[in-house]
């Protein structure tokens, strides 16, 4: 395996894990553009999903007593319904077209998050809609977070409630997505090895993000990360578009 690819994965996971632990979300959104620069789409989605699950497991012990289980279960049930559609896209959509779609989705979602966009909260119906879209994106792109984040931003929840909702949702959905990938023969040896290489960075980012929490301006840090990932996503779009045009 190319050492440059391993170094890229390790560095990108460290950035994504640190950002996630400061802001409470954005692991896959930060990581995926970097992975797409070096990996096939399927491997990138698998690596991101495996490491996002590890990140959620680390965070879970800190928020477990504050989890709003009704909301989490509604979001999760709806996401399960959307996962088969996303898996079909991952299995059968042309790789370059899917990479182009992931890049475009990254730019759009990052722009919405940076602008502080909110989806008006609509009770149970809103949770179902956000969970369904998240499930489709989880198994096709691993970018499952933004739909739920945008919904929660419109619900007026405190930062603690925000984290307590997102973490178990990501953890349960990630575990199911990994199992789905395994039985669908999507997981490759290369993806597993790269995910293992990234695990130390998950722990390092967890510790670094926790140390920086409260000591840095989380909003400013998040804006910097969003700018970086938008730039990387635009580069991914250019590469994918060039391949499609060739």
Q: What is the pLDDT of residue 167?
A: 85
Question: Which residues of the chain fall short of a pLDDT of 70?
Answer: 1, 114, 116-122, 156-159, 214, 216-226, 228-229, 231-233, 235-236, 239-240, 242-243, 246
Q: What is the pLDDT of residue 222?
A: 61
Q: What is the pLDDT of residue 211?
A: 84
Q: What is the pLDDT of residue 236?
A: 66
Q: What is the pLDDT of residue 86?
A: 92
Q: What is the pLDDT of residue 102?
A: 83
Q: What is the pLDDT of residue 99?
A: 81
DSSP string covering the chain, please? --HHHHHHHHHHHHHHHHHHHHHS--HHHHHHHHHHTTS-HHHHHHHHHHHHHHHHHHHHHHHGGG--HHHHHHHHHHHHHHHHHHHHHHHHS-HHHHHHHHHHHHHHHHHHHHTT--PPP-HHHHHHHHHHHHHHHHHHHS--HHHHHHHHHTTT--HHHHHHHHHHHHHHHHHHHHHHHHHTT---HHHHHHHHHHHHHHHHHHHHHHHHTTTS-HHHHHHHHHHHHHHHHHHHHHHHHHHHH-
Q: What is the pLDDT of residue 243?
A: 66
Q: Is the pTM of this model over 0.85?
A: no
């Amino acid at each position: 395996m190319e050492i440059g690819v391993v170094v890229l994965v390790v560095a990108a996971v460290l950035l994504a894990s640190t950002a996630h632990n400061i802001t409470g979300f954005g692991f896959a959104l930060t990581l995926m553009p970097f992975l797409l620069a070096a990996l096939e789409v399927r491997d990138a989605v698998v690596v991101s999903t495996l490491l996002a699950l590890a990140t959620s497991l680390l965070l879970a012990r800190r928020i477990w007593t504050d989890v709003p289980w009704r909301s989490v279960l509604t979001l999760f049930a709806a996401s399960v319904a959307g996962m088969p559609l996303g898996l079909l896209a991952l299995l059968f959509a042309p790789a370059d077209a899917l990479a182009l779609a992931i890049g475009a989705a990254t730019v759009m979602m990052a722009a919405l998050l940076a602008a502080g966009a909110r989806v008006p909260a609509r009770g149970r119906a809103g949770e179902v809609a956000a969970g369904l879209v998240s499930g489709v994106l989880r198994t096709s792109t691993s970018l499952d977070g933004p739909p739920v984040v945008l919904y929660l931003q419109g619900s007026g929840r405190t930062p603690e409630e925000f984290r307590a909702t997102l973490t178990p949702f990501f953890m349960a959905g990630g575990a199911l997505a990994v199992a789905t990938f395994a039985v669908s023969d999507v997981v490759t040896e290369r993806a597993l090895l790269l995910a293992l290489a990234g695990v130390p960075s998950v722990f390092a980012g967890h510790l670094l993000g926790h140390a920086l929490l409260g000591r840095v301006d989380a909003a400013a840090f998040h804006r910097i990360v969003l700018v970086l990932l938008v730039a990387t996503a635009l580069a991914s779009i250019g590469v994918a578009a060039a391949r499609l045009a060739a």
